[in-house]
Amino acid sequence: MKPERPAVLVVSKPLGPPWNDGSKNLAGELARALVSLPTPREVHAFGPSPLEGILTHRVPSARLGRRTTLSMIATLATEHRAALWHFVFAPNARTSRAARSLSALRRRPTIQTLASMPASDVRLGDVVFGDRVVALSRAALARARAEGVAEERLALVPIAITPPPTPSPAEVARVIEAHDLASRFVVTFPGDLEHGRGADVIVEACGAMAHRADAILVLACRDKTPRARARREELEARARRASISLRVVGETPSIHALLAASDLVALPTDTLYAKVDHPLVLLEAMHLGRAVLVSEGTSAHELAEDGAAIGCPLDPGAIAAALDRLVTDRALSTSWGARARACVQGRRVEVMAQRYDSIYDELLR
């Protein structure tokens, strides 16, 4: 009888709804893909409830809190079925120390995916611990090299996602009606309000458009800190002064219908702190055939370098000029959407899983 393949424990935020966190979504995509490989890999993970095909370690809550963290540590200290631990989260000193100590104590090989990058004042060489360290973008790979992570430990595995369900015409129509989006060019900003300059830049860019009366800006931003409400009010006041049509949607269960109702999904920013390197909402928009705009200076700009997105300097005037071109030439945004979709369809989840699977085999030899 052929021996069973060694099992893997995916260590991440608990896998379960709400699926609104990039690192958790990535871990979930990977876990589901690994158990669906032609030669399936047995996968264990943390979650608030069982997941199909995945052996789930129960945790007190789907949210990371003290009790959840202690539950994870207890599992790592006692679990016996997984031959390898795969950590998928943003590296930080406290968690890295615990993971390093436990993996050494339990003699488990480890792989660490840099699910999102830490702040610029954190040196990656000080907070990574995996026997293999996986970067999600070329920018993350370069930073890891520059900050002391040995070349032989590094690997690049770009993010892939399962295509989102295509919203029905009725679902899209409901979103358009609910937010009064009809008959104008819809620009959706799905970035952060609290981190970075992105929201300020897109509001200023829309205010600088020659054709701003023909456009609507939608802020689809999840509140992440107590500052979110004040930031929304500040941006709304600036939009009124600049005569910008603004809709503040916040976090919405109809995000895919909103993306489908958009003519452009724009994420110009100076930082992707707390987001995966190629934000999943952009990849979802691309799967839905939406044009995507990104700015220079972050890893998301690699989408433009690969020909899938419109790239701009992080300058309101340059972004305004790009928006005006799209508003006056709707066929241009449609062609960018088709290009985006073609490019992202080349990123297959099963290929991502096979790449990780081969790294597991290397570590378990």
Which has more pLDDT, 68 or 227? Answer: 227
Q: What is the rounded CA–CA span in Å between residue 186 and residue 197? A: 21
> Looking at residue 65, what is its pLDDT?
65
Q: What is the pLDDT of residues 86-120, one digit of tens each?
A: 999 999 888 889 899 999 999 999 999 999 999 98
Q: What is the rounded CA–CA span in Å between residue 9 and residue 46? A: 9
> Looking at residue 58, what is its pLDDT?
80
Please say whether the beta carbons of 49 and 57 come within 8 A: no
**Fold equal for 7-160+348-363 and 169-344:** yes
> What's the mean pLDDT when you consider all of the chain?
94
Q: What is the rounded CA–CA span in Å between residue 323 and residue 266? A: 10
pLDDT range class, residue 71, cuts 50, 70, 90: confident
Q: What is the pLDDT of residues 319-349, one digit of tens each?
A: 999 999 999 999 999 999 999 999 999 999 9
Cβ-Cβ contacts under 8 Å for 71 (sequence gap 6 or more): 46, 57, 58, 59, 60
pLDDT range class, residue 18, cuts 50, 70, 90: confident
> Looking at residue 61, what is its pLDDT?
64
Dihedral angle at the C-alpha atoms of 247, 252, 253, 259, nearest 10 degrees?
50
Q: What is the pLDDT of residues 205-234, one digit of tens each?
A: 999 999 999 999 999 998 888 889 999 999
The answer to whether residue 144 scores a pLDDT higher than 90 is yes
Count of CB atoms situated within 10 Å of the CB of 184: 15
Cβ-Cβ contacts under 8 Å for 94 (sequence gap 6 or more): none
pLDDT range class, residue 83, cuts 50, 70, 90: very high
Q: What is the rounded CA–CA span in Å between residue 126 and residue 60? A: 30
* Fold classified for 169-344: Rossmann fold (3.40.50)
Q: What is the pLDDT of residues 252-266, one digit of tens each?
A: 999 999 999 999 999
Count of CB atoms situated within 10 Å of the CB of 55: 17
Mean pLDDT of 12-25: 90
To which residue do tokens 């860019």 refer?
205
Give the closest residue to 96 by CA, choosing from 61, 122, 66.
122
Q: What is the rounded CA–CA span in Å between residue 97 and residue 266? A: 37
What are 352's two structure tokens?
A: 């991502």
Count of CB atoms situated within 10 Å of the CB of 151: 8
Structural domain spans, the chain: 7-160+348-363, 169-344
The answer to whether residue 238 scores a pLDDT higher than 90 is yes
User: Helices 93-106 and 66-78 meet at what angle, rounded to 10?
Assistant: 20
* Fold classified for 7-160+348-363: Rossmann fold (3.40.50)
